[in-house]
Chains A and B, each alone.
Chain A
């Protein structure tokens, strides 16, 4: 199971290729879908594959198999299908596909949707176009070369007559589906690269977009839940007398821990006629919990222990060159230790799902990132085959990695089975905050040195954090070699390098949080580099250029060039070196993650205990950008989340339970803290499209910390920053 985790958590291409075969249900990169998968053609409809459907009136539906949570994938990928199909986007309706293998991998995480699905979905569109063109050619008795498709119609070059797509549906649906349709050249793109609006904005602004928590079915009951507050704890006693006496209460249901990585922590739920009654009744329950072995988890002490674990020799996971000797001969040596906190995803829509379990079928409507994971988990819980669980993928009101795990869906299924009715379960914000799957808290220690010529010659990097692997295998008590590969493969290419793993036993559930381990790797490496440049008396921009220029590792050549590219672009955008008002500073960071490259320059002001981010300039290389406006929005969102985790948020545990509960004590960023200006520029568009949902997050916090140092001379090494005036 660990390999599965590494596939999502790590970012190097090599590791990605290695693990994707496990993590994506056997479909490796370059997903190959049989384009004629449906096989069964219905009269009067053209449905050449899972993604394309054209009716006789020309109305076109394009299905999106990847889950939508605000990242815009249900616009970007279907627009690419429409492009190849030569469909008129104005006549296209996008529908979200249910859980189904015909859509290819649907587990939506790791910034892989475009990376994995662009080519197969373009082929799906191109196959449709080719069949429509062939149908027109047959109708006219012309060779296909004389015919071409353009905006929902096929034309011929002989007399420029046209046949609308709708008119061709019947004949096209009798033709064989081509296996290798011809894709457009880049200069033929109609929608790819254009800032098309999201397909559903019109619905959102009138309140008609249906999220997982909005689904209604006849006879639906509503549920509220309280979980055991400590991971591994159990229910000791329950008095439900008062709740059962309340009008409108359908039942009080004990949900035992379901021992599955995506299973319920265990808790007690009330099912009622509406959410309010369920919450009120929940409040009357008298519950005693037995905390179990994690009952003494305390993050203040735990992080101190992690620091001790990285400030002493630890398990060596990777080594090259002769580090000890290099350190002995160093001209300058520097060390730093960096600490990060647990984070909660806190999407605005808390965990929510509707389940309807019946004798002969089970139907689920859920905000989710992993519908197939729901089929497996709920199937295992109910003792049914995964394919017998129907999962309708609903719009997720934010997810950020949390809705990859489907504990809340399994709970809804447990409740539906218990009360014999469809049950809509919505977690309270408090449950969402207190019983999630958290981003790892972490400690990292870096020591590096410069040789006599001023080159960075040696680098020691120790990291200790509870690994996501621990959620799947409790014997995992420290980062694995796979977890640390991104440090080992970091494109600095330092000749003498050692990477070590420190002990960090998990005491809560650890999950994927947007950008995952790249958050703390990007932080430690970039802040340390800024410190090292300062120690060396160098400008950070020039210092980074020199590091990249001194990397002669042929395997890292492309990474180095692309890091260098975004670095130069961001510096140019921000006017690196410009004179700023007193109290302000610029900070720089570069990070390569999820196969993409991001550099950021943050302009920040420090005034007493107050830190203001005025402006952020982002240069991004994620290859060909499908939709520049949505891509820009992803970066803007990453900047906001980056400021949030740098300045505001951290989850704390005391006596095994989360201390935070709601937005007053988990103060995610608000509009008054948002920068006045976020500029985003994309370069490197000749490369293949790569991930974008996550790579923007890791650079913000270090760039901000470096800007604070430039502005005030104060160096912060722990997140969130505890400002001392």
Chain B
């Protein structure tokens, strides 16, 4: 295990305190600010990223836990914003302030990866860790169902 992390396909050397949460390594060191701070306790989901393809809360994940592994952030979910969820998010005009939406999309991507055709109950269960204070929840549901339909068709 080396002290490096692959972030969005690029290997990054880590020369910060290994206890530093991945969130702050992404935001302050790599200046990848698409991943947001919301609570620091894994309660709100704004900091959600993928670690080897699974959604994790980067505010609680020490950077050392990602050594030698693949991290995907919202900036790397697709090369050009063409992930079915990103398309569905735009089509349904989901974001209001948008601050929580990177985390919402990363959680939803994890859900669809394991459950390509989720019910509303599945969505509620999978997404209840992602808070949106603007109240976009009904559109989050719609967009996930929308993207799921697309994934099926693809």
Contact = CB atoms under 8 A, between A and B. Distances in A.
Interface of A: 69-72, 195, 197-198, 200-202, 204-211, 213-214, 216, 222, 274-277, 279, 346-350, 395-400, 426, 428-429, 629-630, 633, 636-641, 662-664, 668-672, 674-678
Contact of B95 (A201, A668, A670, A675): A201
Contact of A674 (B95, B96, B133, B138): B138
A636 B98 contact: no
Interface in B38-75: 38-41, 43-44, 46, 73-75
Interface in B101-151: 101-102, 105, 120, 123-125, 127-141
Interface string B11-42: 00000110011001001110111111111110
A395 B96 CA distance: 11
B7 interface: no
Interface in B60-95: 73-75, 77-78, 81, 86, 89-90, 93, 95
Contact of A395 (B97, B131, B141): B97
A672 B124 contact: yes
Contact of B136 (A208, A633, A675, A677): A633
B100 interface: yes
30 contacts: A202-B81, A205-B89, A207-B33, A207-B34, A207-B74, A213-B37, A222-B28, A274-B20, A274-B28, A346-B133, A347-B99, A347-B133, A348-B131, A348-B132, A350-B38, A397-B98, A428-B40, A429-B39, A429-B41, A633-B139, A636-B139, A637-B134, A640-B137, A662-B40, A668-B131, A668-B133, A670-B130, A671-B128, A671-B140, A678-B138
Interface of B: 16-17, 20-21, 24, 27-29, 31-41, 43-44, 46, 73-75, 77-78, 81, 86, 89-90, 93, 95-102, 105, 120, 123-125, 127-141
A206 B86 contact: yes
Nearest to A279: B40
Given A207-B73, A675-B138, 5 more contacts: A204-B89, A205-B95, A395-B98, A397-B36, A629-B93
A367 to B, nearest CB: 9
The 10 lowest CB-CB distance pairs between A and B, nearest first, are A207-B34, A640-B135, A70-B97, A397-B99, A207-B74, A70-B96, A637-B135, A674-B137, A214-B33, A204-B98
B28 A663 contact: no
A623 B36 CA distance: 37
A398 B140 contact: no
A630 B98 CA distance: 13
A216 B29 CA distance: 11
Contact of A276 (B24, B75, B120, B131): B24
A348 B41 contact: no
A629 B133 CA distance: 18
A276 B17 contact: yes
A641 B99 CA distance: 17
B74 A350 contact: no
Contacts of A677: 138
Most chain A CB inside 10 Å of its own CB: which residue of B31, B97, B124: B97
B39 A208 contact: no
Nearest to B96: A70
Contacts of A630: 93
A501 B136 CA distance: 37
A206 B74 contact: yes
A26 to B, nearest CB: 30
B73 A70 contact: no
B27 A275 contact: yes
A396 B130 CA distance: 18
Contacts of B105: 205
Nearest to A71: B96
B133 A400 contact: yes
B76 to A, nearest CB: 9
A664 B43 contact: yes
Contacts of B81: 202, 205-206
Contacts of A662: 39-41, 43
Given A637-B135, A671-B137, A348 B43 contact: no
A396 B100 CA distance: 12
A349 B36 contact: yes
Nearest to B99: A397
A669 B135 contact: yes
B27 A348 contact: no
Contacts of B78: 206
A641 B135 CA distance: 7
B126 to A, nearest CB: 9
Contacts of A197: 90, 93
A350 B40 CA distance: 11
A207 B35 contact: yes
